[in-house]
Every structure is written in structure tokens, then in C-alpha cells.
């Protein structure tokens, strides 16, 4: 149990450190991701107004994307990029939310890049 608490504490410390340096604006919003035990949530946030511009999740009604694995992460990144492009957003600031940049996080970022978003 101590190890789990320590891992969470370290992730939250990384999250605070990274977030202190990132700021999303309307022209270049902040792309953030969250992994629960069963789902993935990604969104584009304008920090000036405090509003979510675009979001995509495995929890959405009618979503064909299921799970919390690398394939689902790639599909989430692709769908987020499509929705961002349709909203007129071509460039984002990537916030990994304290997660290490490998595995699912890297899949989301690579899929967004493949669909034409610049990170």
C-alpha cells in the first residue's frame, strides 16, 4: 500500500512541476490526458477562460473506443486531432499530466501528430 501511495505522490509532484510551466491559450490550447483504471479521457483546454474546447473519451455514449490500452490511446489521439481540426485548432501544448512519456502517453501524442496537430 505504501508503494501505491508513493507512486501517486510522485505523479502528482511531476504534474504540478509540469503544469507550472504550461499555459494553454485560445490559439494554442493545452491538450491533457487522464487514465483511469478502465478509461482514457483527453481534452483541449483554454486556460485563459477556463473552458474545455474539445474533449474525447472512451466513456462517451456511442463510442466505439473501449479500454485503457495502447490501441485505445492511439484511437483517442486520432479522434482528438480530428475534432480539433474541425474546430479550427492546428497547434496545441501537450500536457502529459504527470505521466511518464512512454506507452499510452506516447501513443496519444504520436497519433495527434500523425493527424496534423503540431505539439
CA atoms within 13 A on the CB side of 107: 15
Range of the domain at 84: 2-114
For residue 103, is it within any domain? yes
CATH (domain of 80): 3.30.420.100
Q: Which residues share a beta bridge with 55?
A: 43
pLDDT of 26 over the 90 cut: no
The mean predicted confidence, pLDDT, of the chain is 93
For residue 119, is it within any domain? no
For residue 11, is it within any domain? yes
Looking at residue 92, what DSSP letter applies?
Answer: -
The total of structural domains in the chain comes to 1
Distance CA 62, CA 77 (A): 17
Phi and psi at residue 91, to the nearest 5°: -140, 135
For residue 67, is it within any domain? yes
For residue 68, is it within any domain? yes
Regarding pTM above 0.85, the answer is yes
Amino acid at each position: 500500500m505504501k508503494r501505491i501511495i508513493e507512486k501517486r505522490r510522485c505523479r502528482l509532484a511531476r504534474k504540478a512541476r509540469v503544469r507550472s510551466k504550461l499555459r494553454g491559450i485560445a490559439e494554442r490550447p493545452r491538450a491533457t490526458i487522464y487514465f483511469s483504471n478502465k478509461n482514457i479521457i483527453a481534452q483541449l483546454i483554454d486556460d485563459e477562460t477556463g473552458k474545455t474546447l474539445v474533449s474525447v473519451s472512451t466513456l462517451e455514449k456511442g463510442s466505439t473506443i473501449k479500454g485503457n490500452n495502447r490501441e485505445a490511446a492511439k484511437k483517442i489521439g486520432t479522434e482528438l486531432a480530428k475534432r480539433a481540426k474541425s474546430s479550427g485548432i492546428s497547434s496545441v501544448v501537450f500536457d502529459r499530466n504527470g505521466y511518464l512519456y512512454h506507452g499510452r502517453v506516447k501513443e496519444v501524442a504520436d497519433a495527434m501528430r500523425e493527424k496534423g496537430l503540431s505539439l
